[in-house]
Amino acid sequence: MAIFLSRLTFGQSGQINKELDWSERMALSVMKRNPEAWQIDFMDLPVWSYPQGLMLHAFEELWKKTDNNAYYDYIQAYADKLIEEDGQIKTYKYETYNIDMINSGKLLFNLYDKTGDERYKKAIETLRKQLKYQPKTSEGGFWHKLRYTNQMWLDGAYMGTPFLMQYAKEFKDSEAFDEGVLQLVLMEKHLRDTKTGLLYHGWDESRFQAWANPETGRSPNVWGRAMGWYAMAVVDALDFLPEEHYGRIVLTGILQRLAVAITRYQDEKTGLWYQVIDQGDREGNYLEASASCMFVYALAKGVNKGYLDKAYLKIAEKGFEGIVSELIEVKENGELDLTQVCAVAGLGGNPYRDGTYEYYINEKIRTNDPKGVGPFILAALALGR
């Protein structure tokens, strides 16, 4: 831990400086809890997985802002722990076609650009190859995993699309731009409720799954983090599209429609969002941290980039204030805890996850889950907080 923390700003007796921005205070808290980045997500052994990629993407953005190489070193140490000398990725299983495993690949572009180390390029190409052969729906939408046949989940939008767009830009793969836009368009097409503007968690083209509506193929409820994944995917994908690409207009329109729906379901009192977004008054529902952080980030970045009307900045600010006042706990040493994060939620599998309201509200709730903490750092950065 000393390798990284010795370069960072602390007060006396290892205190985290409360004068720092929320983004740095949280990043320092993460590093205190996880001396090595592979430990993120409560891991006992190093794994290549999406929570690490999400958190370390936030660290990458923080490094760009602060120019503090301790954050860069923290990221690189994760990559070097998992990538072999020949570029093979430890614990990664190509044959599962698990789109979640693409997410951490986003970290490798900057590492390759900065070092020129061919290991990173080879790992990038491995992940790109997976997406080239990813099983698809009849319209070309990526299945979430090989074993989740014919299914698109909103989670997968974030896991695969920004990586694909960044690859397209870095390696001049114009077809990848088109395919990335298609993924986000298909999800809105099949999952958006025209009355509320909200998107359901998953879609089964075959209508085979017990959770799938026999007419629409949709899962039955609107899970907060699923929509959060999608909102972040859209706003991040726009970073890489060329100005002249038709997808900029398409994705900006999607983001604007999302912003309207998100705002409509923001809790008036706290500024937060519920685990099951549109059922806030129902027994057992709760204000959930990861969705709230993701929405704040997407709205704030959308305004900063000029995709959204400036009025949405107030919505984002209200959300961030709610996160800080309702969900952040500050320890005596200045360390931050983020509470009320849904640990995980999915559809199907064994034991079977049926997508009911009762299912979502009864999934485990954790403190400092990276799926909330990473977006908190991104939200704080987007708001300059």
Per-residue pLDDT tens over the stretch 53-70: 999 999 999 999 999 999
Under 8 Å between Cβ of 92 and 108? no
CB atoms within 10 A of CB 222: 25
Q: How confident is the model at residue 14 (pLDDT cuts 50, 70, 90)?
A: confident
Distance, CA of 262 to CA of 346 (rounded, Å): 21
- The CA–CA distances, whole Å, from 161 to 105, 117, 141, 257 equal 11, 24, 11, 19
Q: What is the pLDDT of residue 152?
A: 98
- The token pair that represents 369 in the structure block: 């889950």
Q: What is the pLDDT of residue 13?
A: 63
Which positions are annotated as active-site residues? 155
Q: How confident is the model at residue 9 (pLDDT cuts 50, 70, 90)?
A: low
Distance, CA of 109 to CA of 52 (rounded, Å): 16
Q: What is the pLDDT of residue 226?
A: 98
Q: pLDDT digit string (tens) for 165-208?
A: 999 999 999 999 999 999 999 999 999 999 999 999 999 999 99
Under 8 Å between Cβ of 31 and 63? no
Q: What is the pLDDT of residue 223?
A: 98
Q: What is the pLDDT of residue 5?
A: 52
Q: Read off the pLDDT of each residue in 283-297 and give the average, rounded to a whole number.
A: 99
Percentage, residues of the chain above pLDDT 90 = 96
Under 8 Å between Cβ of 219 and 201? yes
Q: Read off the pLDDT of each residue in 144-163 and give the average, rounded to a whole number.
A: 98
Distance, CA of 259 to CA of 86 (rounded, Å): 44
Under 8 Å between Cβ of 203 and 219? yes
Question: Residue 12 pLDDT > 70, yes or no?
Answer: no
Question: Residue 157 pLDDT > 70, yes or no?
Answer: yes
Higher pLDDT, 330 or 13: 330
Domains in the chain: how many in total?
1
Ranking 4-8, 79-83, 133-137 by mean pLDDT, the lowest is 4-8
Q: pLDDT digit string (tens) for 366-384?
A: 999 999 999 999 999 999 9
Q: What is the pLDDT of residue 111?
A: 98
Under 8 Å between Cβ of 174 and 245? no
Beta-bridge mates of residue 249: none
Higher pLDDT, 277 or 14: 277
Euclidean distance between the first and the last CA atom of the chain, given in angstroms as a whole number: 26
3-state secondary structure of 153: strand
Q: Give the domain CATH number at 359.
A: 1.50.10.10
Domain housing 373: 2-382
Q: Read off the pLDDT of each residue in 112-127 and give the average, rounded to a whole number.
A: 98
Q: What is the pLDDT of residue 329?
A: 98
- pTM of the entire structure? 0.97
Q: pLDDT digit string (tens) for 259-270?
A: 999 999 999 999
User: What phi, psi does 286 have (nearest 5°)?
Assistant: -150, 160
Averaged pLDDT score across all residues of the chain: 96
User: What phi, psi does 309 have (nearest 5°)?
Assistant: -60, 145
Q: pLDDT digit string (tens) for 227-238?
A: 999 999 999 999
b/e map 147-157, b = 16+ CB within 10 Å: ebbbbbbbbbb
Distance, CA of 239 to CA of 149 (rounded, Å): 30
Q: pLDDT digit string (tens) for 344-363?
A: 999 999 999 999 999 999 99
**CA angle, 309 as apex, 24 and 272 as ends, to 5°?**
50
Q: Read off the pLDDT of each residue in 276-292 and give the average, rounded to a whole number.
A: 98
